[in-house]
């Protein structure tokens, strides 16, 4: 018992230290910088290692995806749009998604058969495993898309404020887009990459509205669609671009504050299942447990 208690104590201390270490990003950044400064020449960075690992995984999935005949028509364009919205613009992104689907279609039924669940209902569990294996890569892409859209949505008000400043000091809208893309490259790299893509499309001959419409289609954000509509209306009626951008920036700030207030208001509702299913039973057992034991010891001998 003493040995088991000692092991549990060590595990608890280890988990507590891991939580403290994970909740201190400044310390982690300092340690990472010191390790980069003190590492020998030719050493591989952690980011480089993770990039190499993801590149190897992509190559594996691409090789598996070549076995499957490529989709055509609307399905191919839909897969490509999902990959682009998730942030994958390489030519092999759609092939890697297809390879991941084929991989999980084989892996999930094998896991179901290996765990013995197939003995309960072979046909139903095999079909469910095939469906789950088909949906896992698409679900993962959708989650990546939502996370990326959230980051773009949070970074858009800062970009609009900088664009208002750039236009007010005399820059044209095209030059302002390029300047904002350069300025936010460190803080908001994903929005910076999208704005650089807009600038490149305008350089090769696309109009500004077409390039911005393509940006809205690539990201799928309603805020960017609203920005395109405002700029189109400004060009059509000749109104002030600065005033339109300032109004739109204030509206984005208001929306971001309202979203934060909405999330804070949902906290109490989300805590109800935790309180009912986890905390309330423990409190009930702690408060009423001794009373139940006393009542049992007092009344049960009388009935005998």
Query: Considering the domain boundaries, does residue 205 fall inside one?
Result: yes
CATH code, 191: 1.20.81
Alpha carbon distance 210, 216 (integer Å): 10
Most confident option among 102-111, 162-171, 288-297: 162-171
Residue 176 burial (CB count, 10 A): 22
State pLDDT tens for residues 45-83. 444 444 555 556 666 666 666 666 666 666 667 778 888
Residue 270, pLDDT > 50, answer yes
Q: To 10 degrees, the CA torsion angle through 94, 96, 98, 99?
A: 170
Please check whether residue 87 lies inside any domain of the structure.
no
What is the model's pLDDT at position 9? 61
- C-alpha distances in Å from residue 147, one per residue of 127, 151, 153, 171, 232: 30, 6, 10, 33, 28
CA gap 289, 60 in Å, rounded: 57
In tens, the pLDDT along 24-50 reads 544 445 545 545 554 544 444 444 444
pLDDT bin (cut points 50, 70, 90) of residue 98 is confident
Residue 137 sits at the vertex; the CA angle it makes with 74 and 155, to the nearest 5 degrees, is 85
Q: Is residue 162 part of a domain?
A: yes
22 or 133, greater pLDDT:
133
For residue 95, tell me if it sits in a domain: no
Domain containing 161 equals 149-259
Q: What is the tens place of the pLDDT at every residue in 99-147?
A: 777 777 777 777 777 777 667 777 777 788 778 878 888 888 889 899 9
Q: Is the pLDDT of residue 200 over 50?
A: yes
- Residues 287-301 have a mean pLDDT of 80
How many domains are contained in the chain?
Answer: 1
Q: What pLDDT shows up at residue 303?
A: 61
Report if residue 6 sits inside a domain.
Answer: no
Query: Is residue 179 included in any domain, yes or no?
Result: yes
**Model confidence pLDDT, tens digit, residues 212-258:** 888 888 888 888 888 888 888 887 887 788 888 888 888 888 888 88
Give the integer Cα–Cα distance in Å for 125 and 118: 6
Of residues 298 and 201, the one with the higher pLDDT is 201
pLDDT at 25: 46
Are 145 and 105 spatial neighbours (Cβ–Cβ below 8 Å)?
Answer: no
pLDDT for residue 240? 81
Residue 64 structure tokens: 């598996």
More confident residue, 234 or 9: 234
Would you say residue 200 lies in a domain? yes
Tell me if 172 is assigned to some domain: yes
């Amino acid at each position: 018992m003493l040995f088991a208690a000692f092991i549990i104590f060590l595990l608890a201390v280890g988990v507590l230290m891991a939580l403290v270490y994970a909740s201190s990003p400044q310390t982690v950044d300092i340690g990472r910088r010191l390790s980069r400064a003190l590492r020998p020449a030719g050493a591989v960075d952690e980011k480089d290692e993770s990039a190499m690992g993801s590149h190897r995984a992509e190559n594996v999935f691409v090789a598996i995806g070549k076995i499957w005949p490529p989709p055509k028509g609307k399905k191919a364009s839909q897969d490509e749009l999902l990959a682009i919205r998730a942030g994958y613009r390489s030519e092999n992104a759609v092939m890697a998604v297809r390879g991941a689907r084929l991989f999980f279609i084989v892996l999930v039924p094998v896991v179901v058969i290996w765990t013995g669940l197939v003995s309960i209902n072979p046909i139903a569990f095999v079909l469910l495993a095939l469906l789950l294996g088909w949906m896992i890569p698409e679900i993962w892409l959708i989650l990546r898309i939502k996370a990326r859209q959230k980051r773009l949505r949070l970074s858009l008000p800062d970009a609009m404020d900088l664009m208002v400043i750039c236009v007010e000091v005399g820059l044209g809208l095209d030059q302002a887009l390029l300047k904002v893309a350069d300025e936010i490259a460190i803080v908001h790299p994903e929005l910076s990459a999208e704005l650089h893509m807009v600038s490149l499309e305008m350089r090769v001959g696309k109009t500004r509205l077409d390039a911005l419409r393509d940006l809205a289609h690539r990201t799928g954000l309603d805020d960017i669609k609203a920005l395109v509509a405002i700029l189109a209306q400004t060009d059509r009626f000749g109104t002030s671009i600065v005033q339109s951008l300032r109004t739109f920036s204030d509206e984005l700030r208001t929306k971001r504050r309202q979203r934060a207030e909405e999330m804070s208001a949902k906290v109490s509702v989300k805590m109800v299942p935790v309180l009912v299913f986890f905390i309330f039973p423990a409190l009930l057992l702690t408060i009423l447990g001794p009373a139940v034991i006393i009542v049992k010891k007092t009344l049960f001998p009388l009935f005998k």
